[in-house]
Amino acid sequence: MTNLSGKKCLIDTNILVAYINQSHPFHLNAKKLFQKILKKEFKPVLSSQNLLELTAVLVHAFKIPQEKAVLDVELFVKDLFFEIIYPNSDVLSNFFNLIKKESSIHTIDAFLIATALGNGVETVITTDKQFTKVKEITTILLI
Amino acid sequence: MSQLIRTTITLPVDLYEQLRAASFYQRKPISQLIREGAERILLQKKNVVGVTLKKIEGKYKVVGSKGQFNRAQFYDKLIRKKMSD
């Protein structure tokens, strides 16, 4: 993997799902990434969108009761280990610029990337190859 | 040791007296004892974080596409459902 030393990296929802699901085809890759996170080899970042999506996956796909799902999601945030970023005033203009320029990207992916860029995060770690089409952000594929 | 900064902290009198005694018996300055205590707390915190994240590692076993996340499919399905409601 690219040298990420000291870099802020957005961890995509698909990585969180791979980490919690031992049957996921990229579970081992996600485990290795989290070992790097625990060793503080880079600065891990999560967007509020990632946490919302993880909660939705747990509730609607994994069929975990909402009150239990939220306890799992809280494990990612309660120790302040990940920096949590939120859409700010720059995000809408970044979002509009991205979807004008990058016609192949899904609008929801564009919003996540806009949130990252608006918070000074220029690297995303994901299993989704679509992100590699976006020139504005560096994509590290964990596959 | 990394660069040091000087700061002011407020301590209860009895804690300060205990630190003074420890400083005398251990032959270490009070500031060093405080540094060691702070480092110990931060190390404990780091270990707890590891434990917290480990609690969720591989917690679920969901096979097939339901066990994965594809953002485009996920939102497209949701939007189609909202539109048909």
Residues 6+ apart with CB under 8 A from A138: A2, A122, A123, A124
More confident residue, A123 or A4: A123
Tokens 């802020």, residue located: A8
Q: Which residues of B touch A130 (CB under 8 A)?
A: 72
The overall pTM is greater than 0.90: no
Nearest CB to B53: which of A34, A62, A108? A34
A107 in Cβ contact with A15 (< 8 Å): no
Ranking A86-95, B6-15, B35-44 by mean pLDDT, the lowest is: B35-44
Q: Is the Cβ pair A34, B56 closer than 8 Å?
A: no
Q: Nearest residue of A to residue B75 by CA position?
A: A108
Q: A8-141 belongs to which CATH class?
A: alpha beta
- Residue B68, chain A, CB below 8 Å: the answer is yes
| pLDDT tens-digit readout, B20-68 | 999 998 999 999 999 999 988 877 766 666 778 888 999 999 999 889 9
Domain limits, chain A: 8-141
Nearest CB to A75: which of B52, B66, B67? B52
| pLDDT tens-digit readout, A10-44 | 999 999 999 999 999 999 999 999 999 888 889 99
Cα distances (angstroms) measured from residue B67 to each of A12, A56, A81, B16, B62: 15, 12, 25, 56, 5
